[in-house]
Amino acid sequence: MARGALLGFLVILATSPVWILLTHIVLARLCRRTPPQLVAAAAGLAGIVHPTLLSCMLVAPDAPSVLRLPVELTYGALVYACLAYSYFHLFNMSETARRIRILSELYVAGPLSAQEISRLYSGEGLVEARLDRLVATRQLELRAERYVRVPRLLYAAAWLTRGWRSVLGFNRGGASRSGA
Amino acid sequence: MRAIVLLAAFTSFACCLMCHVALWRIARPTSDARALFLIFLGVPAAAALGFMGAGTAFAGGGWPQWLDVLAMLLLHWALSVAYIQTYPAVQAQSPSLEIVYAVFKSMPRGLSREELLTTLDTRQLVGDRVEDLVANRLIRAAGDLYILTPLSTLIVKFFLGFRSLLGLSSRGG
């Protein structure tokens, strides 16, 4: 692949989150009744259209498309998948992250004590919001007042995060923290 | 593009991952977010700049071409950002994943809302995250009050602007 075409290809890939954001802005307004996390995931999938078209048409209009070259195709798919995944999690942070919610409470209300933070954002409310969200996105089912049916993929994610936590030494009683 | 670019990116990511695991097991940093950014993004970027500089200064001396190094760095960063975004679910024990784990383990009976509230330590869910914010210097304690720092004010404004662009209500959580 020509060096100019490769540079163009890298620029298109590096800017792909912008296309995901623009797609997300449109989809969020079209699908107001759909759970926001599903809309964000759909934007991540749909956002691939622009970088693919740009890579095919603009980078090397007279040469064979970069996407017909196996190494470039693998490279592009990997970079885009990682960036789309990161975009989804960035959106998830705005939607579910406890730390962002605490910062938002402090931004709106000004300085707060620990008790005031707990009153504005209680642990029980947090769990209930997550239960509602898991049911709305069909990750859990509420049957006769009991939560049942978890997709195996989500359970695998939960199992993996627990395992990785052990690898990092979080579960050791005396895990130390330095001042780095 | 040569396949070695893919191999180099995965190798550098694996090296960073090993440094991260070793450091966390030996002496976990107080500010884990800063340490992750340094290990996964800062150090590899500095190394890549060094390679690019050497490749330009000593052309033909067996150094990789700057564009290949740039391609390697982009894939390395993409993998690293994906990992850094996943890390909070591991570090802070994502309540959603804990719910999923508890419900799966309780099948076929399932769990009621009350049983789930008992299983998860709801008092710690918010308190621990306040401690994390202090450790990462995103809020500071003044007496018994917590105050935002300039960086965390910027973070909140970013997320408020992001949600406003999407036409969503100001706060998630």
Query: How high is the pLDDT of residue A138?
Result: 84
Is B127 exposed, middle or buried (CB count within 10 Å of its CB: 0-12, 13-18, 19+)? middle
Question: Is the model's pLDDT at A71 over the cut of 80?
Answer: yes
Work out the minimum CA distance from B61 to partner chain A, whole angstroms. Answer: 19
Interface of A with B in 118-137 (CB under 8 A): 118, 121-124, 126-131, 133-134
What distance, in Å, lies between the first and last C-alpha atoms of chain A? Answer: 43
Query: How distant, in Å, are the alpha carbons of A20, A178, B67, B146 from that of A98?
Result: 24, 24, 40, 15
Mutate to test the interface with A, among B101, B122, B166, B168 (most CBs of A within 10 A): B166
Query: How high is the pLDDT of residue A65?
Result: 58
Interface of A with B in 50-69 (CB under 8 A): 69
Q: Among residues B23, B95, B7, which one has the least CA distance to residue A99?
A: B95
What long-range pairs does B136-140 form, CB within 8 A, spacing at least 24? B136/B31, B136/B32, B136/B33, B136/B34, B137/B31, B138/A99, B138/A103, B139/A102, B139/A103, B139/A106
User: Which chain A residues are closer than 8 Å to B109 by Cβ?
Assistant: 146
Mutate to test the interface with A, among B99, B134, B154 (most CBs of A within 10 A): B99
Cβ–Cβ gap A103/B148 under 8 Å:
yes
Q: Percent of chain A beyond pLDDT 70?
A: 88
CB A66 within 8 A of CB A59: yes
Q: How confident is the model at residue A118 (pLDDT cuts 50, 70, 90)?
A: confident
Query: How high is the pLDDT of residue B8?
Result: 94
Q: How confident is the model at residue A77 (pLDDT cuts 50, 70, 90)?
A: very high
pLDDT in tens, A131-146: 888 888 888 888 888 9
Query: How high is the pLDDT of residue A180?
Result: 37
Cβ–Cβ gap A28/B127 under 8 Å:
no
User: Which chain B residues are closer than 8 Å to A175 by Cβ?
Assistant: 28
Query: How high is the pLDDT of residue A175?
Result: 44
Query: How high is the pLDDT of residue A176?
Result: 45
Query: How high is the pLDDT of residue B65?
Result: 83
Interface of A with B in 133-172 (CB under 8 A): 133-134, 139-140, 143, 145-150, 154-155, 157-159, 161-162, 164-165, 167-170
CB B79 within 8 A of CB B9: yes
Q: Could you list the pLDDT tens digit for every one of the 173 residues in chain B?
A: 788 999 999 999 999 999 999 999 999 998 888 999 999 999 999 999 998 888 888 777 777 788 899 999 999 999 999 999 999 989 888 888 889 899 988 888 888 888 888 888 777 888 888 988 998 889 999 889 999 999 999 999 999 999 999 988 766 65
Q: What is the ipTM of this complex?
A: 0.86
Facing residue for B123 by CB, picked from A10, A90, A123: A123
Query: How high is the pLDDT of residue A163?
Result: 92
Cβ–Cβ gap B126/A121 under 8 Å:
yes
Query: How high is the pLDDT of residue B93?
Result: 80
Question: Is the model's pLDDT at A179 over the cut of 50?
Answer: no
Query: How high is the pLDDT of residue B159?
Result: 92
Cβ–Cβ gap B127/A36 under 8 Å:
no
CB B70 within 8 A of CB B52: yes
Region A10-31: mean pLDDT is 93
Query: How distant, in Å, are the alpha carbons of A161, A174, B99 from that of B89?
Result: 7, 21, 13
Region A3-23: mean pLDDT is 90
Query: How high is the pLDDT of residue B151?
Result: 93
Question: Is the model's pLDDT at A174 over the cut of 50?
Answer: no
Question: Is the model's pLDDT at A178 over the cut of 50?
Answer: no
Query: How high is the pLDDT of residue A24?
Result: 95
pTM > 0.95: yes or no = no
Q: How confident is the model at residue A66 (pLDDT cuts 50, 70, 90)?
A: low
Query: How high is the pLDDT of residue A45?
Result: 93
Query: How distant, in Å, are the alpha carbons of A25, A98, B101, B135 from that of B160?
Result: 14, 15, 31, 23
